[in-house]
Structure 1
Amino acid sequence: MSATILPQVDIATYATSTQGLSLQQLSFIGSVFTKVGANQVEDALSFLRQTFARFNTYIDVHSVPSVEEVLSLLDAGAVKVFVTLQQLEQLKSVKNLDLDRVAVTVSDESTREDIINAVAGTTVGVYAEAVADIELVEAWLKEYGGERPPVFISLSKATEENLLKVMNSGAVPVISAERLTVNPEADPQRIDIAKLLIANVESDRVDGLFPTLVTDERGIALGLVYSSEKSVSESLRTGAGVYQSRKRGLWYKGATSGDTQELIKIGFDCDQDCVRFVVRQKGKGFCHLSTATCFGEYSGLSRLQQTLQKRKASAPEGSYTARLYNDPKLLQAKIMEEANELCEATTKEDVAWEAADLLYFALTKCVAAGVTLEEVEQNLDAKNLKVKRRKGDAKGPWAAKLSVSAPQDEVKEAASVPKARSDPAGTIDGRIEMRRFNTATEPNSVIQEALKRPSQRSSEKIMGIVNPIIADIRARGDAAVLEYTHKFEKATSLTSPVLKAPFQQALMNLSPETIAAIDTSFENIRRFHAAQADKPLTVETMPGVVCSRFSRPIERVGLYVPGGTAVLPSTALMLGVPAMVAGCKTIVIASPPRADGSITPEIVYVAHKVGAQSIVLAGGAQAVAAMAYGTESVSKVDKILGPGNQFVTAAKMVVANDTSAGVSIDMPAGPSEVLVIADKTANPAFVASDLLSQAEHGVDSQVVLIAVDLTAEQLQSIENEVDRQANALPRVDIVRGAISHSVTLLVKDIKEAMEYSNLYAPEHLILQVHEPEKIVELVQNAGSVFVGPWTPESVGDYSAGVNHSLPTYGYAKQYSGVNLGSYVKHITSSNLSPEGLKNIGSAVMQLAKVEELEAHRRAVSIRLEHMEKGTG
């Protein structure tokens, strides 16, 4: 991880920059430095994913407001982060974080004593930025001593002389990559990077040459040679292995033999007296004897990889290795077989033998897929840098087979960010594909485990986050709402947490096509919900006893419209239109704003159409708490409706159980889900599109396919469509996250399919089967049903008229989706005539006597006595 010099790049322009060092030349140095602004974290994560194998990346994060985001950068592979003193204090309490991955930035506000106290007794480095007085720095470094954490320095005037002074003082200089060159003769205005690289390399040879160890990408020594400043410069310029021959001058490796080398990286040993070249060797090998190394042939995994690569190129027809390459299912079966045998091995000798077999087949699969050992080891290195550690529990089906259970307070945690391109989540053999389970061959425990939702976090963890937020909102009102919006939504320009009606036209400027689509959906939703209105009910239960029931709208409702990875004006429609139809007097909409503090114009337009009083510019638990208790600007509501993430759902449950809040909720609603039942009549393209339409909602969504008596070819057709359509989607990395915990169940008939569907109780149920209208009769548990091939779930999400705010997590067994009844309350009345009281009085008095409630009995008897006196 150590660096001798840090070229600085701009993550916004590094891929297109033509000044100074190229990306390839930067990779030879092996380390880069960059700064990340408050709104550049996603760009930085993308940079790390794309360049991890090429660079050790050092990042200045002093402008990143959230420590969680700093940790995400370390998790993604940042070698070291440069932080403020305040950030350092927060990072010191992070479990699993090695402080040698942190350097504190010396600022104008921080004194020398501040820095010394902050890093005392730690491995935290120091970064001094834009230093003008190089002599002062030299003196300070001398006083600091040699046995210290690393020091990094950028100069206000970066000359070659000043940079060499920094390096001679034992510090690492930071300099713009645009100021460096590998060709000083052609580019004299820039600084020669070769001269800087070898500035501190020591040689005890009379000729001044540097001993040089040449290794491959796995670190295996290929041979020993010599280098000079000129040969290092030539290697950097050409991107090849160029060394200094003691007899012939510059030695371009492979120039005559053809066994050339592709330069990967140049580094140094700990004492700076040996140069290390990391190369990709071409041809027969490094040695003049045509062996892979000057120390003999490769051994172990490197030798196996070399053999398998040769066999892949020219395996004899009919050979075992050729069969493995040509039959992926055979290879898959062998990997599973050998993994099982390794699990069952008990003696030291058997474990070693079975592990060797498994490594052989695993490496065969890697070579077949074009994956090298070097790439496998790069992934291991990336995982080693992670700060956030997984518990290491076995996944459901495997745990169930061996009766391994996680601790009672542990649940699976779904990722909340798109999967990285290098992450194989949601793929099988490189294809985007769901896991298959055959109900005829798998035990029921395995099927039930496979159908479990991708639960977010344990309730204890969630409540530990949600409860303090709710308490803070109650205590500090608007100020707390604003702080959380600034923190979580990055909308630091907001000065008020509420946008009040009437809304300015400028806030809802939309294309005519979008307005038409919203208006069409609005009218269909209005019609369907208006038809749900019930009429007053009057029943004379016995002569003179009249009972009635009538409805009244809930006066004040709060509607939560999620933000996050998608804009959801459809949810605003689904919640707002029935509130308007019901006649709710106060409609408050809450939705997370964009980073610039604005709300998407589609949501503002819907709020205008439904007559919303205001829009709360907040998301998460803070929005729920603000509506439940009210603040200086946010109106208190009587009921909160709408879906959201685990924090929203938890906050809704908390406020609903707090009698002082006086608020109810619609239902526990979490990440979206769909279950599709398909038989031989189903169109594979339709089935795949319905699965993916829910998978693209978020990585914590889940989709389930129940395949009814499909042949292998029919099922393969659906899986082919899933892979093809998914790879064409702009949100493919989100889709893969959802697919990674989604499943296909193979069942024998429609009866079994409906049994599993009712057990799962899906939010959305799609019936792509023969005579689907008849199958609706078998539905016991579902949020909403979509019948037949021409009814995609999308129409329910937007425009058909049914509501899309539905119960998830299996709550369709107990809850209905949002409907007109969600916005009204029913009041009953009783109206008795004297005759009615006489007819029912004796029953009432007897039951009151049984319950020993004398006042209840007397409330009837006193009236009956009054009647008798009045008629006597």
Structure 2
Amino acid sequence: MTTFLPLLNEDNSALFNALDRIGPIILDAQHSIPLPQLPQQSYLLVDQDTSVDIDAVASWLDEGVEKVIVPLSSAKELIGVLPADRLVLLLDVANVSAVSDKIRNGVSGVLLKTPSIDIDFITPFSKFFVGSTIYVLSTADSLPTVSNIRELQTIGATLVLPESQLTLDTSSSTKLNVADAFLATVVSDRADGLYPTVVTTETGHSLGLVYSSKASVKESIISGKGVYQSRKHGLWRKGETSGATQDVVRIRLDCDSDSLEFRVVQHGVGFCHLNRQSCFSEATGLPALENTLRQRLENAPEGSYTQRLFKDPVLLQSKIMEEADELCNAETKEDIAFEAADLFYFALTRCVAAGVSISDIERSLDKKAKKVTRRPGNAKPQWTKEAPVTPAAPAVPEKKEETKVDGPIRMRTSDLSKVSPEERVQLLRRPVLKSDEMIEKVKPIVEAVRQRGDEALLELTAKFDRVKLDSTVIFPPFAPESMVIEEDVRKAIDVAYSNIHKFHAAQVDGSTLKVETMPGVVCSRFARPIVRVGLYVPGGTAVLPSTALMLGIPAQVAGCKEIVLATPPRPDGSITPEVMYVAHLVGASAILKAGGAQAVAAMAYGTKTVPKVDKIFGPGNQWVTAAKMLVQNDTDALVSIDMPAGPSEVLVIADHTANPAFVAADLLSQAEHGVDSQVVLVAVNLTPEHLAAIEQEVDVQASALSRVDIVRQSIPKSIIVKVANTDEAIQFSNDYAPEHLILHLEDASQRVAEIDNAGSVFVGAFTPESCGDYASGTNHTLPTNGYARQFSGVNTLSFQKHITSQEITAAGLDVLGPVVATLADCEGLQAHANAVRVRLDQVKKSA
């Protein structure tokens, strides 16, 4: 129950913290507190002069804001779109007549700004808004009183007190003490005037029953510590002598305002004088398990199973997945309870290891419950299982009409001329990649391979690739039977190999650059291959021999002495024969039968069987990308990577000459890579009919694809950006910096010179991105996620590094030496200067 609502518009941490302990707080929507750091219960007030965006209000509510208080002008747009129980109407007394039945029924409360607290006026007003909570904000100069709070409570209304009228000090004629306002309606049926007080944990589990007084409540609100009233000894500051102190999380009134609840974080041995958590009994269930796990984390018996779980994240992860699977397969009530208990145990162990409490989980659940926007909630592809099919009796084949699932496949559309600068920035963003979270997930995998080598690699291959192997590495010569492929596929690979080899061979830097910077001083620069390279070839949702070509050929051309190719094995433990054939063509020195983070770790650190490499190349999923980022920053690995990577992407610029079928096909060629892929169509002054034809082609072509389920998830995340002319289109593309850029333009060839940022450009109607992916000659391993601003795609020079040298004659040093000595003296590096001067002295003696 709420006795009053504070309205804050300035930063006052002490007042803020005190108010946060006793109930909801109204904050100005322009308040500087970030949404994730809002108090436990917060209302946001939108000023009369502030325009309200529906998406912004929805995002506030999604972040956990209890209610949004909006003016009448904005309420008309929000009502019917957002839940009524989350909206409060901001209303001036002069505007009451303007409230329609629709608005009255579309909100859960009304914040009434009134020149005085007149119960006779407010009472009929509350009857007009029957079923709504009435909040009253007086605009008078005089300070509302405790009596006003009580009077308003009798008609079900709540007083709003601005920050300027509140204090943590004693109440005065200009400010009301926070505790006095909170306790305004509290009554006691006891002769001593004390209030029965139930003390609970953050999760509501009872600790004990005590008593409070106005003085003890005031001190608790201000200090944030558990302070109560002893019937014998006066104020009782819990833990003052025992050390079992309490941090107050929330103080609440019951429905009759005659008792209190303190929710606290209990420190020390417990609340009870018998050194138990609760006065009523020992903790049971989840609270007991949480206490036990916390104790085990601090002081687990050597060799205990819980200690193993804390020390072996990979084991813990495996057990969570195992128990989740067993819970899904349980059938009887007893089995479901049994398996759920096991899952709770391992899940809570994971939480305690990360410092997450049950109360943290409950807060997250509460926050999720407050969301007003919802995702479809479909399972990710790797967790989707098809229901078992019962064989049916043979039937005469019947031709059925094609039916589309979930409606047409559509992209989102924005008009660049109508978006704000902030919205334009959002259009340039990719789907969110939580790289920090992914790095934390791969750390245990990488660490396991680093410490236990082949043993861990075999375990992880069995776990993630679901293949049990005796050895994970194949060395040449490769068995001919492992490379048997269809003749047409072999010929296609041979043509692709020839084109890619030709283009990359032309990039080799085999010359030595020599420059005489001054007489007798010659500086040189020459290229050398990186000796040992690791090539990651994905094998998840698609088999990619093309990636083996794109990585293996430049490594071969550059002259790398060791080429380790890593790719996930098939269910029978073998490698895809097309990839094997390419490995043979490019002269791979080893093939690692492993995927994911474990393959990256094996190449980065090396094992007894896996050769260590100096640089790792290749695309992959989030696990691979995170592992590459992790190992490149580990000095123990001493390994670099080709570039940061993200989901595949394409940007297509299309004008009036664009063929809708061609454009749609190009968009879908990237959208089918994965659910996190993004495609962008920049439409240059296209007519509505032309744009509709492209969208129709996207839907029709996508529905015919075997990977349509992936496209159904990636296309809705993708966008159509409408622009007025080609200059605007190219400017947007340069800002976006796409991995692949396709120009469906009338003057496509002439426009290439204006492209500043792109991984690879595909010029004209008959240059599909697919050709660059496979066989035209350019490389398809390209920078994504906007990194085309700083990075090139993989090329021959990616597999080389450059060394510089200098050769100086005695005459050259005679001229250059004094310059160097002067600069060394300037920097205070005497040894540097001396290395020159001893030589200059020798030159002078020899002269």
TM-score range, shorter chain: 0.5 to 0.7
Residue equivalent to 2:418: 441
CA contact (8 A) 2:652 2:663 kept: yes
Residues 751-830 of structure 1 mapped to structure 2, 5 A cutoff: 751-830=727-806
The whole-number CA distance in structure 2 between the counterparts of 1:647 and 1:632 is 24
Offset, 1:866: 0.6
Q: How many residues end up aligned between the 2 structures?
A: 499
CA contact (8 A) 1:588 1:612 kept: yes
CA contact (8 A) 2:466 2:571 kept: yes
Query: What amino acid is aligned across from residue 516 of structure 1 in structure 2?
Result: K
Offset, 1:69: 7.7
Residue equivalent to 1:499: 474
Paired-residue identity, % = 55
1:399-452 Cα deviation digits (max 9, x unpaired): xxxxxxxxxxxxx99955599999xxxx99811111111112232323432442
Residues 186-197 of structure 1 mapped to structure 2, 5 A cutoff: none
The whole-number CA distance in structure 2 between the counterparts of 1:708 and 1:816 is 27
Residues 349-748 of structure 1 mapped to structure 2, 5 A cutoff: 415=380, 417=382, 430-456=407-433, 458-492=434-468, 494-534=469-509, 535-748=511-724
The whole-number CA distance in structure 2 between the counterparts of 1:599 and 1:459 is 30
SS in structure 1 of the partner of residue 771 of structure 2: helix
Change (3 A) 1:797 1:93: same
CA contact (8 A) 2:653 2:742 kept: yes
CA contact (8 A) 1:415 1:700 kept: no
Offset, 1:688: 0.2
If the length of structure 1 is used for normalisation, what is the TM-score?
0.54
1:252-280 Cα deviation digits (max 9, x unpaired): xxxxxxxxxxxxxxxxxxxxxxxxxxxxx
The whole-number CA distance in structure 2 between the counterparts of 1:81 and 1:466 is 36
SS in structure 2 of the partner of residue 432 of structure 1: coil
Offset, 1:845: 1.0
The whole-number CA distance in structure 2 between the counterparts of 1:761 and 1:705 is 13
Change (3 A) 1:560 1:434: same
SS in structure 2 of the partner of residue 467 of structure 1: helix
1:750-806 Cα deviation digits (max 9, x unpaired): 111112111111110111111111211221111111111110000000000100001
Q: Give 5+ residue unaligned stretches, structure 2.
A: 1-316, 351-364, 388-403
Residue equivalent to 1:365: none
CA contact (8 A) 1:418 1:733 kept: no
The whole-number CA distance in structure 1 between the counterparts of 2:690 and 2:577 is 44
Residue equivalent to 2:342: 89
CA contact (8 A) 2:324 2:343 kept: no
Offset, 1:72: 7.7
Query: What amino acid is aligned across from residue 483 of structure 2 in structure 1?
Result: M
CA contact (8 A) 1:538 1:549 kept: yes
Residue equivalent to 2:841: 865
Change (3 A) 1:759 1:834: same
CA contact (8 A) 2:814 2:843 kept: no
CA contact (8 A) 1:434 1:740 kept: yes
The whole-number CA distance in structure 2 between the counterparts of 1:501 and 1:389 is 56
1:74-121 Cα deviation digits (max 9, x unpaired): 899999896898896245444799xxxxxxxxxxxxxxxxxxxxxxxx
CA contact (8 A) 1:419 1:733 kept: no
The whole-number CA distance in structure 1 between the counterparts of 2:319 and 2:820 is 65
CA contact (8 A) 2:549 2:582 kept: yes
Offset, 1:463: 2.1
CA contact (8 A) 1:797 1:803 kept: yes
Change (3 A) 1:779 1:483: same
SS in structure 2 of the partner of residue 490 of structure 1: coil
The whole-number CA distance in structure 1 between the counterparts of 2:482 and 2:367 is 44
Query: What amino acid is aligned across from residue 508 of structure 1 in structure 2?
Result: M
Offset, 1:459: 3.2
The whole-number CA distance in structure 1 between the counterparts of 2:334 and 2:656 is 56
Offset, 1:727: 0.5
The whole-number CA distance in structure 2 between the counterparts of 1:564 and 1:835 is 63
CA contact (8 A) 1:66 1:487 kept: no
Change (3 A) 1:586 1:597: same
The whole-number CA distance in structure 2 between the counterparts of 1:817 and 1:413 is 35
Across the aligned residues of Structure 1 and Structure 2, the Cα RMSD in angstroms comes to 3.3
CA contact (8 A) 1:543 1:836 kept: yes
The whole-number CA distance in structure 1 between the counterparts of 2:691 and 2:330 is 39
Offset, 1:460: 3.6
Change (3 A) 1:82 1:814: farther
CA contact (8 A) 1:413 1:455 kept: no
SS in structure 1 of the partner of residue 838 of structure 2: helix
CA contact (8 A) 1:590 1:623 kept: yes
The whole-number CA distance in structure 2 between the counterparts of 1:453 and 1:477 is 36
Offset, 1:836: 1.1
CA contact (8 A) 1:694 1:702 kept: yes
The whole-number CA distance in structure 2 between the counterparts of 1:515 and 1:468 is 40
CA contact (8 A) 1:418 1:737 kept: no
The whole-number CA distance in structure 1 between the counterparts of 2:799 and 2:548 is 15
1:807-844 Cα deviation digits (max 9, x unpaired): 11111111111001110010011011112111211211
The whole-number CA distance in structure 1 between the counterparts of 2:458 and 2:614 is 23
The whole-number CA distance in structure 2 between the counterparts of 1:77 and 1:759 is 52
SS in structure 2 of the partner of residue 588 of structure 1: strand
Query: What amino acid is aligned across from residue 519 of structure 2 in structure 1?
Result: P
Offset, 1:394: 7.4
Query: What amino acid is aligned across from residue 342 of structure 2 in structure 1?
Result: E
Residue equivalent to 1:35: none
1:195-254 Cα deviation digits (max 9, x unpaired): xxxxxxxxxxxxxxxxxxxxxxxxxxxxxxxxxxxxxxxxxxxxxxxxxxxxxxxxxxxx
SS in structure 1 of the partner of residue 731 of structure 2: helix
The whole-number CA distance in structure 2 between the counterparts of 1:777 and 1:520 is 30
The whole-number CA distance in structure 1 between the counterparts of 2:790 and 2:606 is 30
Change (3 A) 1:817 1:81: farther
Offset, 1:65: 8.2
Offset, 1:670: 2.1
CA contact (8 A) 1:437 1:447 kept: no
The whole-number CA distance in structure 1 between the counterparts of 2:366 and 2:606 is 37
Change (3 A) 1:628 1:565: same
Query: What amino acid is aligned across from residue 711 of structure 1 in structure 2?
Result: T
1:156-179 Cα deviation digits (max 9, x unpaired): xxxxxxxxxxxxxxxxxxxxxxxx
Residue equivalent to 1:220: none
SS in structure 1 of the partner of residue 717 of structure 2: coil
Query: What amino acid is aligned across from residue 527 of structure 1 in structure 2?
Result: K
CA contact (8 A) 1:74 1:81 kept: no
1:621-642 Cα deviation digits (max 9, x unpaired): 1111100000011000011011
Residues 333-348 of structure 1 mapped to structure 2, 5 A cutoff: none
Offset, 1:853: 0.9
Q: Give 5+ residue unaligned stretches, structure 1.
A: 1-63, 98-386, 399-411
SS in structure 2 of the partner of residue 517 of structure 1: helix
The whole-number CA distance in structure 2 between the counterparts of 1:774 and 1:561 is 36
Offset, 1:498: 1.1
